[in-house]
Amino acid sequence: MLSGYLFKNIRTTQRLLRNFSSDAKFFKVRKPSRKQNKLGLEKEKRRKNKLQSTQFFYIAARARSPYQEVEVVSNNRKAPLQTQRKSIAPRFEKKTRQKISDYLKQMATPEIEAQLAPLRAAVKEYGDLIRDLKAKQAPKIDIDKAVVELKARKKLLEETEIALAPKEASFDRLKLEDLLKRRFFYDQSFAIYGGVTGLYDFGPMGCALKANMLQQWRKHFILEEGMLEVDCTSLTPEPVLKASGHVDRFADWMVKDTKNGECFRADHLIKNSIEKLMNVSKIDKKVSAEIKKDGEDVLARLEGFDDKDMHEVITRFKFKSPITGNDLTEPIAFNLMFPTQIGPTGDFKAFLRPETAQGIFVNFKRLLEFNQGKLPFAAAQIGLGFRNEISPRQGLIRVREFTMCEIEHFVDPEDKRFPKFAKVADEKLVLFSACNQLDGAPAREVAIGEAVANKTVANETLGYYMARCHQFLMKVGIDGRRLRFRQHLSNEMAHYAQDCWDAEILTSYGWIECVGNADRACYDLQQHYKATNVKLVAEKKLPEPVDVDIVEAQANMALLGKKYKKEAKKIQTALQQLTSEQVTAIEAELVAKQLYNLDINGEKFELAPDLVNIKKYSKKIHVQEITPSVIEPSYGIGRIMYALLEHSFRQREGDEQRTFLAFKPLVAPIKCSILPISANDTLVPVMDAVKEELSHYELSYKVDDSSGTIGRRYARTDEIGIPFGITVDFESGKTTPYTVTIRHAETMSQIRLEVSELGRLISDLVSGRQQWSDAQAKYPKFEASAE
């Protein structure tokens, strides 16, 4: 059957050459060209191409990073053609070894590390010896002998690394990207117009995969946990995002080329420029050790830099535009929200929401009412988010428009226990706590119950959602060995956040944050209360009524109006929002100084005693008003989907050209293929019976009755991740009841069974009620004649 494959490859190459011709323009214009402005997208394209060339340069200078190299090739969009031209790496060629090293650094279990440690020590021993011999100016023969031994030890280390390496360490992103593009899982948006970075369109397979993931998410969270789902608008008025802090703080620092205005993300520019400097220093010994150390220091601290720090570094190192060599401006804050206006007047400013959460917060009162006033409850939203990234790369990992799923769990701040926590307490998660990060210790597998008990994780509710997050990611097919929960360090968290654990998934881009699980305290509701003066609180019944002493500051509106005109209302509101303690303090100051300076967001208002009446009284209260705490799990669906594609990607052993996607049947875009062994009419009644059986169980299928060999058709359906192939052969119709074979794509093993048993079996396999091994145990094995 190999001939089928060779044929396929030639055909594929031809098709690729033909298909990509429409994009050829895009590939060719690597150097900015004045002739390319026909479509109006030229500027953006030029900027992009420049960035690519730049990156390429950096990469060339640090060619030791194998992933980066792959990434650049793919960015330059030569990927599909090159795949065809190059001969394929045997497992494991040199480049692959570096990937394995990289994976091992991230994924090595303590057992693997234990096996490698003596080998590493052995290498180091000879490294040290040689350095020592050279320093002593020992005879050349001694040094040469030591070098031979060093090489042998190095080889042993490498070979052991390879032997211990997980298979997925040899992952080839180039091949995955070729498959995803060719079978239109997703691809760059508006490609015939030159494309837009950071925007992707999903084709039929990507769309179905995404829809299935969302359906599982809805089932796993909204239905199983009885959450209140809402669907709010993307368009969001400015005051809402002002209150949430996004208008002021949702920004990246950017520097501009002083001459041509080209923009660079400041932290990326510094990182790339320093890395370039370091690489140069390897060749050019004139770069002093001091500068090198300084650079390393900057890289280590870069995450915490503000604009002044970055400006200082750019000035001190004399960094210029990597494209033109021109000077750069000081860092400018660039807000990542897309601005627009609502209505025709142009003065109603709005943004596209950067997250779906705010829609839930502003509906808090309605949701609490829907829940009959009771806490805790959770609301959830599945929808679009928009972020105007400065220069997005990394495919689906960093995009400008994306689907996210967010949960806001509202809970009594003084009681964050979770009734169903016991159900998940024994669930083991890989936790990379802040402590472990600071100690340089690796992530550890811990039962979530233990982690909450010993306060590693702040509370039961947060712990419960982390466990459910883990379950969800496993359910859709993320590889558990490439998943960890990383706690935010205190300097990473917003000041109001009490704890935060990101579910990070290891991909060829490194560990990627795919889900955030944060305890945001009561920050969001309080901010919207401050902005609107609408109380966003729940009532908690007190065990028994209590008398409380109330101290209130009431504005004397008549006098206040005279003095402050239209500002009076604002002052009144500010006074209403004060706590009893604050009012008592004001009273003291009014008595002492006959004056109090009220500060409203930086504006000062002088208040004389006659403008404010301090009122004190006692009140019996039966309920306590509380602003709920918010636990927020937030899922980036595109990122999870990309990780899932990497983790599901396989190459057939012995024929690494033959790639496929081994999805969990639950999320596979199409569940079955129906393949008649030939176009013979005698097969038609069986085909019809199969279709009817599958439809009865609402199982999606794809008929491939094209003229290719059965092996070629299997390969084509394997590529789009169809888990089960139903083959109708000449035996099928010979007896009644009809029989067919089912082929399991991942293992290529086959069984034979009656058509009437198909629906239930495949339903069970899809839902996970049965595994393929169960089916193999129950039904006779079928030996395929050939693939």
Smallest distance, Å, CB 350 to a copy of itself? 8
Q: Name the residue nearer to a copy of itself (CB basis): 92 or 377.
A: 377
Smallest distance, Å, CB 338 to a copy of itself? 5
Q: Name the residue nearer to a copy of itself (CB basis): 239 or 245.
A: 239
List 169's β-bridge partners, or say none. none
Q: Name the residue nearer to a copy of itself (CB basis): 239 or 685.
A: 239
Q: Quote the CA–CA distance of 353 and 217 in Å, as a whole number.
A: 21
Given a contact cutoff of 8 angstroms between Cβ atoms, the answer to whether 454 and 442 are in contact is no
Q: Which of 229, 267, 309, 764 binds a copy of itself (CB under 8 A)?
A: 229
Task: Tell me how long the chain is.
Answer: 787
Given a contact cutoff of 8 angstroms between Cβ atoms, the answer to whether 385 and 635 are in contact is no
Q: Name the residue nearer to a copy of itself (CB basis): 561 or 609.
A: 561
Structure tokens at 288: 């002093």
Smallest distance, Å, CB 542 to a copy of itself? 19
Smallest distance, Å, CB 233 to a copy of itself? 5
Given a contact cutoff of 8 angstroms between Cβ atoms, the answer to whether 212 and 669 are in contact is yes
The residues in 246-275 that bind a copy of itself, with binding defined as CB under 8 A, are: 254, 261-263
Please identify, among the stretches 71-79, 222-230, 483-491, 493-501, the one whose residues bind a copy of itself according to the rule CB under 8 A.
Answer: 222-230
Interaction of residue 340 with a copy of itself, rule CB under 8 A:
yes
3-state secondary structure of 287: coil
The residues in 428-467 that bind a copy of itself, with binding defined as CB under 8 A, are: none
Interaction of residue 207 with a copy of itself, rule CB under 8 A:
yes
Given a contact cutoff of 8 angstroms between Cβ atoms, the answer to whether 692 and 759 are in contact is no
DSSP 678-691: S--GGGHHHHHHHH
Q: Which of 315, 341, 554, 582 binds a copy of itself (CB under 8 A)?
A: 341
Interaction of residue 39 with a copy of itself, rule CB under 8 A:
yes
Smallest distance, Å, CB 190 to a copy of itself? 6
Residue 159 DSSP code:
H
Q: Which of 306, 347, 414, 581 binds a copy of itself (CB under 8 A)?
A: 347
Which secondary structure element, helix H or strand E, spans residue 141, and what is its range? helix 140-164
Strand pairing report for 538-555 and 510-519: unpaired
Smallest distance, Å, CB 465 to a copy of itself? 19
Residue 456 DSSP code:
S
The Cβ of residue 18 has, within 10 Å, a number of other Cβ atoms equal to 9
Q: Quote the CA–CA distance of 234 and 353 in Å, as a whole number.
A: 5
The residues in 569-588 that bind a copy of itself, with binding defined as CB under 8 A, are: 569-570, 573
Smallest distance, Å, CB 122 to a copy of itself? 52
Which phi and psi angles does 262 have, rounded to 5°?
-65, 145
Q: Name the residue nearer to a copy of itself (CB basis): 274 or 362.
A: 362
List 444's β-bridge partners, or say none. 431
Q: Which of 702, 697, 707, 760 is nearest to 726 (CA)?
A: 702
Given a contact cutoff of 8 angstroms between Cβ atoms, the answer to whether 376 and 412 are in contact is yes
Strand pairing report for 186-188 and 349-352: unpaired
Binding marks (x or -) toward a copy of itself, 136..175, rule CB under 8 A? ----------------------------------------
Amino acid at 482: R
Q: Which of 143, 199, 559, 748 binds a copy of itself (CB under 8 A)?
A: 199
Q: Which of 110, 344, 440, 543 binds a copy of itself (CB under 8 A)?
A: 344
Q: Quote the CA–CA distance of 21 and 155 in Å, as a whole number.
A: 45
The contacts of residue 60 (CB under 8 Å, 6+ apart) are: none
Amino acid at 106: Q
Q: Name the residue nearer to a copy of itself (CB basis): 198 or 354.
A: 198
Q: Which of 27, 57, 193, 730 binds a copy of itself (CB under 8 A)?
A: 193
Smallest distance, Å, CB 180 to a copy of itself? 12
Which secondary structure element, helix H or strand E, spans residue 282, and what is its range? helix 266-283
Amino acid at 224: E
**Is the bond preceding 92 in cis, omega lying within 30 degrees of 0?**
yes
Q: At what angle do helices 460-476 and 204-217 cross, to 10 degrees?
A: 150
Smallest distance, Å, CB 738 to a copy of itself? 24
The residues in 394-433 that bind a copy of itself, with binding defined as CB under 8 A, are: 400-401
Please identify, among the stretches 56-64, 184-192, 419-427, 603-611, the one whose residues bind a copy of itself according to the rule CB under 8 A.
Answer: 184-192
Sign of the dihedral defined by the CA atoms of residues 356, 360, 362, 366, in that order: positive
Q: Which of 190, 422, 622, 625 binds a copy of itself (CB under 8 A)?
A: 190
The residues in 698-737 that bind a copy of itself, with binding defined as CB under 8 A, are: 700, 706
Interaction of residue 602 with a copy of itself, rule CB under 8 A:
no
Interaction of residue 232 with a copy of itself, rule CB under 8 A:
yes
Interaction of residue 281 with a copy of itself, rule CB under 8 A:
no
Q: Which residues of 106-131 are buried (b: 16+ CB within 10 A; e: fewer)?
A: ebbeeebeeebeebeebbeebeebbe
Residue 752 DSSP code:
E
Q: Name the residue nearer to a copy of itself (CB basis): 231 or 783.
A: 231
Q: How many CA atoms lie within 13 A of 125 on its CB side?
A: 9
Q: Which of 61, 122, 138, 191 binds a copy of itself (CB under 8 A)?
A: 191
Q: Quote the CA–CA distance of 640 and 380 in Å, as a whole number.
A: 18
Please identify, among the stretches 73-81, 413-421, 477-485, 527-535, the one whose residues bind a copy of itself according to the rule CB under 8 A.
Answer: 527-535
Smallest distance, Å, CB 334 to a copy of itself? 5
Smallest distance, Å, CB 78 to a copy of itself? 19
Please identify, among the stretches 123-131, 528-536, 622-630, 677-685, the one whose residues bind a copy of itself according to the rule CB under 8 A.
Answer: 528-536
List 253's β-bridge partners, or say none. 333
Q: How many CA atoms lie within 13 A of 758 on its CB side?
A: 35
Q: Name the residue nearer to a copy of itself (CB basis): 293 or 366.
A: 366
Interaction of residue 230 with a copy of itself, rule CB under 8 A:
yes
How many residues belong to the site for a copy of itself (CB under 8 A)? 95
Q: Which of 152, 235, 621, 684 binds a copy of itself (CB under 8 A)?
A: 235
Q: Name the residue nearer to a copy of itself (CB basis): 282 or 530.
A: 530
Interaction of residue 19 with a copy of itself, rule CB under 8 A:
yes
Interaction of residue 661 with a copy of itself, rule CB under 8 A:
no
The residues in 350-389 that bind a copy of itself, with binding defined as CB under 8 A, are: 352, 359, 362-363, 365-367, 369-370, 372, 384, 386, 388
Q: Quote the CA–CA distance of 682 and 65 in Å, as a whole number.
A: 57
The residues in 494-523 that bind a copy of itself, with binding defined as CB under 8 A, are: none
Burial class (CB in 10 A: 0-12, 13-18, 19+), 171: buried
Q: Which of 315, 305, 311 is nearest to 331 (CA)?
A: 311
Given a contact cutoff of 8 angstroms between Cβ atoms, the answer to whether 660 and 718 are in contact is yes
Interaction of residue 211 with a copy of itself, rule CB under 8 A:
yes
The residues in 736-755 that bind a copy of itself, with binding defined as CB under 8 A, are: none
Q: Name the residue nearer to a copy of itself (CB basis): 124 or 219.
A: 219
Q: Name the residue nearer to a copy of itself (CB basis): 63 or 534.
A: 534
3-state secondary structure of 723: coil
Smallest distance, Å, CB 326 to a copy of itself? 15
Q: Which of 5, 92, 103, 202 binds a copy of itself (CB under 8 A)?
A: 202
The Cβ of residue 284 has, within 10 Å, a number of other Cβ atoms equal to 9
Interaction of residue 325 with a copy of itself, rule CB under 8 A:
no
Interaction of residue 210 with a copy of itself, rule CB under 8 A:
yes
Interaction of residue 80 with a copy of itself, rule CB under 8 A:
no
The contacts of residue 397 (CB under 8 Å, 6+ apart) are: 507, 509, 512, 638, 639, 642
Interaction of residue 66 with a copy of itself, rule CB under 8 A:
no
* 561-564, Cβ contacts within 8 angstroms, sequence gap of 24 or more: 563/611, 564/605
